[in-house]
Structure 1
Amino acid sequence: MAEDAFTEHRPLLFTIAYEMLGSATDAEDVLQESYLRWSAVDPASVGHPRAYLVRVVTRQALNHLRALKARREEYVGPWLPEPILTAPEVSDDAILAESVSMAMMLVLETLNPTERAVFVLHDVFGYPHGEIAASIGKTEVSVRQIAHRARRHVHARRRRFEPDSATTRGIVQRFLRAAATGEIQALMDLLAPDVVQISDGGGKVVAARRPITGRNDVARFVLRVIRAGTATTRAEYTTYNGMPAARFLTGGELDWMVAFEIHDGRITGLYGMRNPDKLHRADTVHPLDRGGAEPWKP
């Protein structure tokens, strides 16, 4: 049945769409559109359903991404990807965990849509250039050139990544304790000198309109935010985008979340999400799958 094949490959298809779009909501829209197209095809006529579905999702995601680019140019304040709650096993696949991390998703935002599709399909999912060419309507030679250009761009901007682990978890818990007790020196000891804090409020709630850099300014910003909370606000440790993270609930409702980028025992990045439009589905665990490349055979 068409539905069975689509359900089987859904985690892989969602992961591709999310990495191309940076939005779980838009990725789900792409999957819905792709399923409608798939349901109109006779499954018996498709020799390799997964490869066929990857091609359909890639094309739909590219169409969405081109439309999203214009919207994001008008975004109020810093833009962060819609956070996704990830299962612990995501961190066991280093390539997958890094590819959905906040830092990598921000780097992918600097690519044009075609570069992003090629980089995601080739460098993350391992699809050969020829199969990607068939998916995006380019020649294989052109795809190789795009892949080289995108890879050089990403490698020049990517930050070192450490996935969620017992060590990073301990650092975050110490950070939360220091923030809750107002120990600014303890906070600064956990921050790298060039730490960056980025907040996404989307113009809907109060949030820093520009990135904050440096351990002194970031520590003071964190304390101001914590002090602005109410007596009913509590923090919970969790994992978003394969990164150690904390969610802050006020009156039992998710108010904001922060994902932590950690390297060599210090926090190098804090990614705070306050935009309610991006938090409304933050309690949903999204199964992710990088799979293995399957030859394209129509």
Structure 2
Amino acid sequence: MSISELYGELRPRAFSIAYQMLGSISETEDVVQEAFLRMHQALQRDERIDSPRAYITTLVTRLAIDQFRSARARRERYVGEWLPEPLAAESTPADQVEIVDSLSLAFLVLLESLTPHQRAAFLLRDVFEYPYSEVADIIGTDVDGTRHLVARARTHVRKHRSRYNATPRQRDELARRFFAATERGDLSSLEELLARDVTLHVDGGGKVPAQLRPVNGRQRVARALVGAMSVLSRRGVHVHATEVNGRPGAVTVDEDERPTGVLGLDFHDGRIGAIYFIANPDKLQRVGRVGGRDLLRAGPHSGEAGA
């Protein structure tokens, strides 16, 4: 099989692993590109690669661990709250359906507090279902050490992850009502849809005006949303509902249909429990003009790394 054929076959899984490790499309593409370059160089040297899938998974994971270490240091200096770079698309790719819950913005934010090796071990074992022995080989630990890493990560995730999520149909209906109430400026209807302890997270990255800390509580969040929507409407910005990281969300666009932000929702106990709004323009570069079927210029199925 040629390197181009291997690239086409293995890239979706490689992209998924790296993206869930890093929460950044641009960093993910760098990691995936470097991994395939190294495999190509190994093949040119006639090195024996018994399993290209295992080989590229190992390369991607180890590169992502290194990248995550340096990214974490940069994020500590980030202006305001750091949120993942969103995957905004009309629908979730078929080969992502089984792991859609692990793509959510809420889940990726939760993973940020894990160590690089905990995050890698947990994702490979519990999301991508690699056996412990393979995970140990990939991240360079023994099986007992890998089990310990996964157990620590599971404890953290279970402690902070919501225990009950709405069904896809309930999510869609809640999202529809949420966006309608927000655009109408209907505070009472909006508050009914929000969990009591709902949190609004905004990522402006110091590039656009944005709150630096999360807004907590049903009334405060509702007022903040209605106020923000009023300002955006006066500027000619409107909301285009779409799927964001496998969950209902929206892209806000200006009069020329250029994205100005991406909004994702998380659901707790049949209500909206968290709202994530990414307005940092650096994280919107891969969100194309609204109007086509695919709002993402580069992603798991793009033919080339880079947009």
TM-score (ref. length: structure 2): 0.88
8 Å CA contact 1:88–1:242 kept in 2: the answer is yes
Instruction: Give secondary structure in 2 for the equivalent of 1:286.
Output: coil
Structure-2 separation of matches of 1:219 and 1:259 = 15
Of 81, 85, 100, the residue aligned with 2:84 is 81
Larger displacement relative to structure 2 (228-237 or 50-59) = 228-237
**1:163–1:243 CA contact under 8 A, matched in 2:** no
Partner of 1:36: 37
**Separation in structure 2 between the aligned mates of residue 233 and residue 188 of structure 1, nearest angstrom:** 23
Identity %: 38
Q: Once the 2 structures are TM-superposed, how far is the Cα of residue 234 of structure 1 from its aligned partner?
A: 1.5
Amino acid at match of 1:157: H
Match of 1:60 in 2: 63
1:26 pairs with 2:27: yes
Contact conserved, 2:162 with 2:268, CA < 8 A, in 1? no
- Change over 3 Å in CA distance of 1:202–1:72 after alignment to 2: same
2:202 is equivalent to residue 199 of structure 1: yes
Please name the residue that 1:109 is paired with: 112
Deviation by residue 1:252-293 (Cα, 9 ceiling, x = unmatched):
1101121111234311110111011111112316337xxxxx
More relative contact order in 1 or in 2 (CA 8 Å, sep 6+)?
Answer: 1
Query: For residue 221 of structure 1, what is the aligned residue in structure 2?
Result: 224
Aligned to 1:253: 258
Ranges of 4+ aligned residues in structure 1 off by more than 6 Å: 91-94
Q: How many residues align?
A: 288
How far residue 53 of structure 1 moved from its aligned partner, in angstroms, is: 0.8
Deviation, 1:93, is: 6.5
* 1:87-166 matches, cutoff 5 A: 88-89=91-92, 96-160=99-163, 162=165, 165-166=168-169
RMSD over aligned Cα atoms: 2.0
* Secondary structure of residue in 1 paired with 2:88: coil
Alpha-carbon distance in 2 for matches of 1:167, 1:65: 35
Are 1:239 and 2:246 an aligned pair? no
> Cα offset for 1:95?
5.3
- Is there any run of 5+ residues in structure 2 with no aligned partner, and where? 288-294, 302-307
* Structure 1: gaps (5+ residues): 289-298
Q: Is the 8 A contact 1:247 1:256 kept in 2?
A: yes
Q: Return the alpha-carbon distance in structure 2 between the equivalents of residues 44 and 164 of structure 1.
A: 48
Code of the residue aligned with 1:271 in structure 2: it is Y
Task: Please give the alpha-carbon distance, in whole angstroms, between the structure 2 residues aligned to 1:147 and 1:281.
Answer: 32
1:38 & 1:110 partners in 2: Cα distance? Answer: 31
Structure 2 Cα separation of the partners of residues 146 and 167 of structure 1: 35
Provide the residue aligned with 1:16 in structure 2: 17
